[in-house]
Amino acid sequence: MSIPAILAQRPTAASLLADITAGDTETRQRAIEQSVLVGTPLIVPLGRVMAGSDPAAGKAALEALRCVAHHCARPGAGAERATAARELLKLTEAAFPRHVRSEALMLLGCIGTAEHAPALARLLKDPQVQTDALMALQRIPGAAVDRALRNALTGAAQPLRGAIELALQARVRRFRRR
């Protein structure tokens, strides 16, 4: 097969989103697997599908989102990981429904870095996702995360204050093991 022919077969963000949104189960399975070929440009559009009213499309989008995020954090992925984290942060905005924000935060806990700590810490003030944000911060290594959590203690009322203190303790145990 010629290179142009191969390139012609390579999925695009638009083709994958169309398959995820309206395909049958087999088409969706294939689109999910191929989503890593397109990668980070899919993240926000997939979040929008998750936010939509079709649960089957939303589920396929969720699976694709997970595939893309984890793929972008593979060893040697380089800048892709940072790009993916930036895109996931967009899905944490209040314009998205809770289940999309929660999923994005769970994935940020897996692939986010200390540079995302301030943005995640700001979400501790959002009652809808503060626990998800706290759980994401627990996973991310780095002194900047500890600083962000300690800063968040200032002015935090209970029960959030206690939860942040617990998260700081959990981080000590988690990173002491390594």
Partner 1 sequence: MDGDSKLTRRELMGTAASLGIPAIIPSHVLGRQGRQGANDRIRIGVIGTGGMGQHHVAPDTVAICDVDDEHLANARRRITQGEPFMTKDFRRLLERKDVDAVIIATPDHWHGIMTVMACQAGKHVMCEKPTARTIAEGRAMVQAARKYNRVVQIHAQGRSNPNAHAACQFVRNGGIGTIKRVDVWHPVNFSTNSWGEEQPVPSTLDWDMWLGPLPWMPYHPLRCHFNFRWLMASGGGFIRDRGNHALSIVSWLTNTDDYKGLVTCEAKGQRHLTGFYDVPATMEVTWQFRDPDWTLTWSQPGKPNPRFPGDWGATYTGDRDDLIVLGGDGGCEVEQKAKEFKVPPGGVEIYKSPGHRENWLECIRTGKRPVMDVEIGHHVVTLCILGNIAWRLGRKVTFDFANERLVGDEEANRLIDEPYRPPWKLEV
CA 163 distance to own-chain centroid? 22
Contact 35, 67 (CB under 8 A): yes
Judge if the upstream peptide bond of residue 159 is cis by omega within 30 degrees of 0.
yes
Counting contacts by CB under 8 A, is residue 123 touching partner 1? no
| The binder of partner 1 chosen from 39, 45, 65, 132 (CB under 8 A) | 132
Residue 116 CB, shortest distance to partner 1, in Å, is: 14
Counting contacts by CB under 8 A, is residue 30 touching partner 1? no
Interaction mask 42-81, partner 1, x per CB under 8 A: -------------xx--xx-xx--xx--xx-xxx------
Counting contacts by CB under 8 A, is residue 92 touching partner 1? no
Counting contacts by CB under 8 A, is residue 2 touching partner 1? no
Spell out a b/e string for 93-107, using b for 16 or more CB atoms within 10 Å of the CB, else e: eeebeeebbbbbbbb
| The binder of partner 1 chosen from 21, 102, 121, 156 (CB under 8 A) | 102
Report how far residue 27's alpha carbon sits from residue 29's, in angstroms, rounded to the nearest whole number: 5
CA angle (61, 84, 35) in 5-degree steps: 40
Q: Kindly state the number of chain residues that form the binding site for partner 1, as judged by CB under 8 A.
A: 42
